Amino acid sequence: MKIVTCVAPVNIAVIKYWGKRDENLILPINDSISASLSTDIMCAKTTIMASPLLKENKFWLNGREQTFDSPRFSNCIKAIRARCDETLPQFNWKISICSENNFPTAAGLASSAAGYACLVHALAQLYEIKGEISDIARQGSGSACRSIYGGWVQWHKGDLPTGADSIATQIAPADHWPEMRIIVLVVNDCRKKYSSTSGMKTTTETSTLVKFRAESVVNQRAKAMKKAIEDKDYESFAEITMKDSNQMHAICLDTFPPCVYMNDTSHAIVNLVHSYNEYKKGQKVAYTFDAGPNACIYLLQSEVEQFISVVNHVFPKPADIDAVEYYRGLTLPNKQ
Ligand code: PMV
């Protein structure tokens, strides 16, 4: 019998992945960049047991039994097993997988990214696979490839049709920028109407703006973002983060029919951040939004107290914002 347990972090993109060039292999149309949050606060945890005594494969996610048949899940299992040494005894044993997230799904944070990164890493441990696995995590959920690493991470879109070069690499470890913090503002809202998968598919089919982004904007922006992170240049980092979030959501509106993820409260947060920065005479706080209305705020520790008090003043509870969660992220090991 063999048992492995792994944890993997949630990641929050500052250069967004939005649009695929290959739906099946999950190959993106552009590079993206994110930071992984501390696994102390938010993570996925997966335990896998392999045993000759097990009669069938089983998978539980947050306490509910799941099928092995979902295409993305089975693609990950197949891809991992293809790299396994078939003479290992566990290769022929049935497995039992138990996965859970230690954060509320209501936070609307990319649980699938942490979940697939964790699953793939745990399978790699089980089957004793060395080397790159972010290309396999990518086949579960695109952004999962970035959760394979801690700190600041770039997902390279790659050029090969096989996807072998569409992998994640670490730009800098978590302790590179120790003053950086992330606050998640959980906006009161029902479940999102369009999944990121269906939203991206419709965008790729209908948006003209997404082509402009891929051809003329995002490469330059990813380079500038990498430099801002390397130089710990917060002002540049903040400006690029906000512009890129805004462009992703402009593309969502340019999709037909449009995918509307941000709501009035999200826009009120955008206005609040810009007013705060105007008052402070510089970019001191940056917002970014994924496929939902919740805001992720990147800021330095020196701004946290003041910004939170402004948020609490503008959105007194109980009002539009359900909870102001304050995640002190970015204290990860270099590699999960
Ligand atoms: O990996 P997916 O399919 O859940 O896509 C996530 C895409 C965004 O969260 C909206 C942006 C990103 O780069 O994480």
What DSSP string runs through 248-317?
A: HHHHHHHSSS------HHHHHHHHHHHHHHHHHTS--EEEEE-SSS-EEEEEEHHHHHHHHHHHHHHSPS
Q: Measured from the CA of 155, which atom of ligand 1 is nearest?
A: 13
Write the residue with the smallest CA distance to atom 14 of ligand 1: 13
Q: Measured from the CA of 26, which atom of ligand 1 is nearest?
A: 3
According to the model, what pLDDT value does residue 195 have?
87
Ligand 1 centroid vs 265 CA: distance in angstroms? 21
According to the model, what pLDDT value does residue 236 have?
98
According to the model, what pLDDT value does residue 111 have?
76
According to the model, what pLDDT value does residue 183 have?
87
Ligand 1 centroid vs 51 CA: distance in angstroms? 35
Structure tokens at 54: 């097990």
**Which residues does 30 contact at the CB level (< 8 Å), separation at least 6?**
15, 17, 19, 157, 213, 214, 218, 219, 222
According to the model, what pLDDT value does residue 324 have?
44
Q: Over the range 229-255, which residues count as b (16 or more CB within 10 Å of their CB) and which as e?
A: beeeebebbbbbbbebbebbbebbebb
Ligand 1 centroid vs 185 CA: distance in angstroms? 18
pLDDT digits (tens, 9 = 90+) for 103-134: 766 556 667 899 999 999 999 999 999 999 99
Quote ipTM for the complex.
0.99
According to the model, what pLDDT value does residue 106 have?
52
Please give the model's pTM, rounded to 2 decimal places.
0.93
Ligand 1 probe mutation, 27, 290, 294, 296, most atoms within 8 A of CB? 290
- The response to whether residue 265 sits with its C-beta less than 6 Å from ligand 1 reads no
Nearest to 204 by CA among 272, 269, 251: 251
Q: Which residues of the chain have pLDDT under 50?
A: 319-336
Write the residue with the smallest CA distance to atom 6 of ligand 1: 143
Q: Measured from the CA of 17, which atom of ligand 1 is nearest?
A: 13
Query: How do beta strands 58-61 and 94-101 pair?
Result: parallel
Ligand 1 centroid vs 253 CA: distance in angstroms? 16
